[in-house]
Copies of this chain bind each other. A is one copy, B any other.
Amino acid sequence: MANMTDVAKLANVSTATVSRVIQNPEAVKEKTRIKVLQAIEELNYQPNILARYFRRTETKTILVVVPSIVNNVFPQMIAGIDLVAGQHGYKVLLGNTYQDPEKAYSYIEELKQKQVDGMILLTTRLDKDVITDIAERYPVVLTSDFIEGLNVPTVAIDNISSAREAVEHLLQLGHSRIGMITGPLNSLLCRDRLKGYRQALLANEVAIEGVLIQEGDHTYESGYNQMNKFLALEETPTAIFAANDSMAMGAIKAVKDQNMKVPEDVAVVGFDNIQFSKIFEPALTTIAQPLLGMGKRSMELLLKQIKGEPLTKKQLVLDTKLIIRDSCGYNKQV
């Protein structure tokens, strides 16, 4: 394989000129440029990218750390990231953590070792101090999952107000006994959705009952199980807010299995607007996150950091949207 020196010799110029033709063609006189280009053509020369990376200490690669790629929301965010990354000549390295913090830390090493130019965290089971430290020294963006009181560049939605909107929708439909199936409460994101639920009830002077709050783990099965707990209550809730769509579907399934109907007997609102939520029957009323957009914004924020541009806004909060379908009976009431 020909190298730059070979090209330089053939074109009768210095390697510096060859390099310039490649990196910054305007800096070279047209006559010379053509000469060099011909030599490149003739030798079928391709720059050694690895040498360039080494010399530049830059890899044009960013790392996306994600708990699991087999998931309904992450692939869409990754698609958004990839889209913007590609437009700017960056490649995307996949960092699956399999929920293991150790794994996540190992990815941070890659960042420290400059194997990647930046990192987007789509999750955070990481120590607060570690993240703060890393984010100060390297380009990092936190997406979706917030960490309280952290001054790290972040792209997220307002989980509190989104959840509040979902619950208020149920309240407006006349429900007052509303159960919630939360996600794992060790995550701030899930606590926020719970907080939104509480705020909605408080604002409407509806009492909050502990028995109407059950913690799930984001799976369909947990939705099913928690719903069964609700249905076993003496006074069952007439509406449910599930912290994600999978649990909402599980909950609906539980209702159906009791020969009851959704939305007639129990109304259900989900969260995420996963692809299947509109196919599911009844089609799910849910909160849509701008997943693709979050991915895009994250990458844009990361690029700014990589380029050393000042960040005017470190924390980006994107709008969500309540998608009204059939699972809470809105269409029938109107």
Contact = CB atoms under 8 A, between A and B. Distances in A.
Interface of A: 46-51, 53-54, 57, 59, 61, 64, 68-71, 75-76, 78-79, 82-83, 86, 91-94, 96, 110, 112-115, 220, 249, 253, 256, 276, 279-281
A93 B96 contact: no
A320 to B, nearest CB: 19
A138 B94 CA distance: 22
Highest count of chain B CB atoms <10 Å: which of A70, A249, A280, A281: A70
B59 A69 contact: no
Contact of A279 (B53, B61, B75, B249): B249
A49 B94 contact: no
A253 to B, nearest CB: 7
Contacts of A220: 279
A104 B84 CA distance: 17
A50 to B, nearest CB: 4
A113 B82 contact: no
A59 B60 CA distance: 14
Nearest to A256: B281
B93 A94 contact: yes
A60 to B, nearest CB: 9
Given A69-B75, A86-B96, 5 more contacts: A46-B113, A48-B54, A51-B54, A78-B94, A93-B93
A122 B318 CA distance: 33
A81 B113 CA distance: 24
A83 B253 CA distance: 33
A192 B30 CA distance: 54
A81 B53 CA distance: 26
Nearest to A253: B279
A279 B50 CA distance: 47
B53 A50 contact: yes
A314 B47 CA distance: 32
A110 B86 CA distance: 13
Contact of A75 (B47, B70, B92, B110): B70
Contact of A281 (B57, B69, B281): B281
Nearest to A82: B96
A61 B116 CA distance: 12
Given A69-B82, A93-B91, A49 B112 contact: no
A224 to B, nearest CB: 10
A93 B90 CA distance: 11
Contacts of A113: 46-49
A133 to B, nearest CB: 15
Contacts of A53: 50, 53-54
A115 B48 CA distance: 9
